[in-house]
Amino acid sequence: MKNSKSAVMNRQLNILNLIRDRGEVSVEELADTFNISVITVRRDLQLLEQQRLLSRVHGGARVGGPEEDRGEDAENLRYCRSCISRYAARFVADGDAIFVNGSRTALDMLKHVKDTNLLVYTNNAWALEETYPKGVKIVMSGGECRNHIFVGDYVMRNLLSLKANKTFIGCAAVFEDGEFGYDIPTEIGINEIMISRTEGELYVLADHTKLRKNYDTTSLYGGCTYDRPLTLITDSKADSEVVEALRCNKIKVITVPV
């Protein structure tokens, strides 16, 4: 039986209050306390983190927003992401048809495309709230909207009917062995369809906080590798050892000066 929206919101509020009371709580403890699955806990924590109400950590969550947990100024991180978006725009050519996934950094790239006729296929609902240069045409995938992303079988079917010559996507984590982590259950499948329908280049946009040495998917829904050449665009604050390891794993890495 499906929980009502009010019941879900009430549970998430109780989770938030418990974390605030204790400072930090594990995923397993939350699952036991509220008699729900670990997957449901992680989904709730993801939604609460997106609202800047808590920060997910290894195996659980703690009080404070994600920017605080990273130990750096939020404005500085936004600047790094903006630099990545601006740099990525140079890989878009006049007449391109591209896929863009639910990444804010990838979507913001479109703001920096000038004097270019560009067709953009996306499942990113944030695109409906933005204004882009005159030549940029947005085509939404449709589907069920969760947070800011359209998901579900309807999205999959629509994407399978499309073709693009480039794809720009984001991710939740980049591990030094070349695996990419995601925190939205259907995101991997949607990305893979976009990539399979792309004739040309694949670009992954990820700021330096997402590059990690140790493989850990505790706070993620899953990870994957891509069996085709890709270019990772990050910023110059990225860990140099991780960048070098990625290059050794045949991934082209561009570090944008910030």
What digits encode the pLDDT tens for the residues 79-116? 999 999 999 999 999 999 999 999 999 999 999 998 88
CATH number at 146 reads 3.40.50.10470
Query: What pLDDT sits at residue 69?
Result: 43
Q: Which of residues 21 and 130 earns the better pLDDT score?
A: 130
Query: What pLDDT sits at residue 62?
Result: 82
- Do 151 and 123 meet the contact criterion of CB atoms below 8 Å apart? yes
Residues 56 and 141 in one domain: no
Domain boundary, last residue among 25, 44, 69: 69
The mean pLDDT of 111-136, rounded to a whole number, is: 92
Residues 32 and 134 in one domain: no
Task: Look at the chain and report how many structural domains it folds into.
Answer: 2
The mean pLDDT of 170-182, rounded to a whole number, is: 91
Residues 249 and 148 in one domain: yes
Domain boundary, last residue among 47, 69, 91: 69
Residues 120 and 173 in one domain: yes
Q: What is the pLDDT of residues 64-73, one digit of tens each?
A: 654 444 444 6
| Lowest-confidence segment of 3-17, 28-42, 57-71, 216-230 by average pLDDT | 57-71
Is a pLDDT exceeding 90 seen at residue 257? yes
Question: Which of 91, 146, 87 minimizes the C-alpha distance to 116?
Answer: 91
Q: pTM score, two decimals?
A: 0.74
Burial class (CB in 10 A: 0-12, 13-18, 19+), 57: middle
Range of the domain at 229: 74-256
CATH number at 43 reads 1.10.10.10
Q: How far apart are CA 23 and CA 47, in angstroms?
A: 18
Residues 61 and 78 in one domain: no
Q: Provide the pLDDT confidence category of residue 149 given band limits of 50, 70 and 90.
A: confident
Domain boundary, last residue among 21, 53, 69: 69
| Lowest-confidence segment of 63-67, 97-101, 165-169, 195-199 by average pLDDT | 63-67
Q: How far apart are CA 104 and CA 148, in angstroms?
A: 10
| Lowest-confidence segment of 58-72, 151-165, 179-193 by average pLDDT | 58-72
**Amino acid making up residue 49:** E
Residues 168 and 82 in one domain: yes
- Do 190 and 153 meet the contact criterion of CB atoms below 8 Å apart? no
The mean pLDDT of 172-201, rounded to a whole number, is: 91
Structure tokens at 87: 């740099």
Question: Which of 103, 101, 105, 104 minimizes the C-alpha distance to 120?
Answer: 101
Write down the mean pLDDT value for the chain.
87
Q: Which of residues 149 and 241 earns the better pLDDT score?
A: 241
**Amino acid making up residue 73:** D
Residues 193 and 96 in one domain: yes
